[in-house]
A = this chain, B = another copy of it.
Amino acid sequence: MSLLVVGSVAFDSVETPFGKAEEAIGGSAMFFSTSASYFTDVQLVAVIGEDFPQEEVDFLNSRKIDCEGLHRVAGKTFRWEGKYGFDLNEAITLDTQLNVFGDFHPKLPESYRNADIVFLANIDPSLLLVVLEQVKNPRLVVADTMNFWIDGPKRDELERVLSKVDMLVINEGEARKLGGEANVVKAARAIQARGPKHLVIKRGEYGALLFSGEEIFFAPAYPLESVFDPTGAGDTFAGGLLGYLSSCETIGTRELRQATVVGCVMASFCVEDFSLNALRDLNTKAIEERFGLFEQLVGFGPLEPLDA
C-alpha cells in the first residue's frame, strides 16, 4: 500500500539534561517519513524555506521518500525551540517561528492522490480538511493532534477532522482533554464515538495503548538506559506504525498490534540520539533485533491451573 504524509519540516533547537542541539533537522514529516521509509515507500507533502539544506532533501531521496510534494518557497523554514527536564515525557516550548509554514497550503501532486494510507501530522485542522478533499479513495486516514488545536479556536474543524479519520494518534494528556474524561479508557471510548475506529494513545516512556473497535492492546516503551532526546519520538512512532501497516497486505487486529510494537521499536531508536541522527542509518536487521527485545520484554507463559 502507498503511504502519504502531510506535516512539517523544521529546524529544532532542543535542550535536554544530557545536551543541546541547535537548529537540528526536525519536524513531524521528517521524523515520520524517515521512520516509515524502513518499511515502505513514502510520499511527502511539506514546505521548506530557502535556508533548508539540499543535502537533507538528498537524504530523503536516498531513503526512497518521494519529495515531489516537498515545496521550497521564498523565506525561512519553520523553527521550534524547546527543552526537557529530567521528566522527558513533556517538552516545554520556548519559541515557535512558523515562517514559511505559516502560509502552508498543501497541494498534492497528481501522483499522490491515490494514496492508500494518509497520515495528517500535527497541523492546523483546516489544512487537514483541505488534504482530505484531494485524496481519492484512501483505505486508512490517520491524524495526529495536540493541545494547541484541542484548546484553540479551531475546535470545530478538529471535530470535523475526527469525524473523517479512521485512526487518531494522540498523547495521553491530549486524549484525556479531548475525551473530557480523566480515565483513559473512558476518554478513548468518548473519542472513538466521535469518529475514529482506531485510537492510539501515546504514553511516552510507558508505551502506547491501541483501542481498535472494542479491543485494547498495550505495547510498552523499551526501558532504555540512555534517553537523550524525545523530540520527534511520537512522529517516529507513527512512522513505524503506518510504515509497517503499508507493507502488510491487509489491516486487521493482528497487523495493527504488530504495527503498534513496530512504532515503539522505531521510537526507541529515535530517543537514543538528538534529532534524526539515530534514524538515519538503521537497517532491517537492527529493527528485527529490537522487535525481538520487545517480544522478550512482555512475554510470559500461561498460568498454571490454580487450586488454592
Interface positions of A from 250 to 265, Cβ below 8 Å from B: 254, 257-258, 260-262
A216 at interface by CB-CB < 8 Å: yes
A206: chain B residues at CB < 8 Å are 203, 206-207
CB pair B257–A300 under 8 Å, yes or no, is yes
A94 at interface by CB-CB < 8 Å: no
On whether A185 and B224 interact (CB within 8 A), knowing A287-B306, A303-B288, the answer reads yes
Indicate with 1 or 0, residue by residue over A240-282, a CB within 8 angstroms of chain B CB atoms. Answer: 0001000110000010011011100000000000000000000
Interface positions of A from 275 to 295, Cβ below 8 Å from B: 284, 287-288, 291, 295
Stretch touching chain B among A32-40, A46-54, A129-137: A32-40
Select A223's contact among B185, B219, B302, beta carbons within 8 Å. Answer: B185
A304 at interface by CB-CB < 8 Å: yes
In which size bucket is the chain A interface?
35 or more
A182 at interface by CB-CB < 8 Å: yes
CB pair A303–B284 under 8 Å, yes or no, is no
Bound-state Cα–Cα, A72 to B42, Å: 71
List 18 A-B pairs, Cβ < 8 Å.
A86-B182, A183-B224, A184-B205, A185-B225, A206-B206, A209-B223, A215-B296, A216-B297, A218-B220, A218-B223, A218-B297, A219-B300, A247-B304, A258-B301, A260-B300, A284-B308, A288-B305, A288-B306
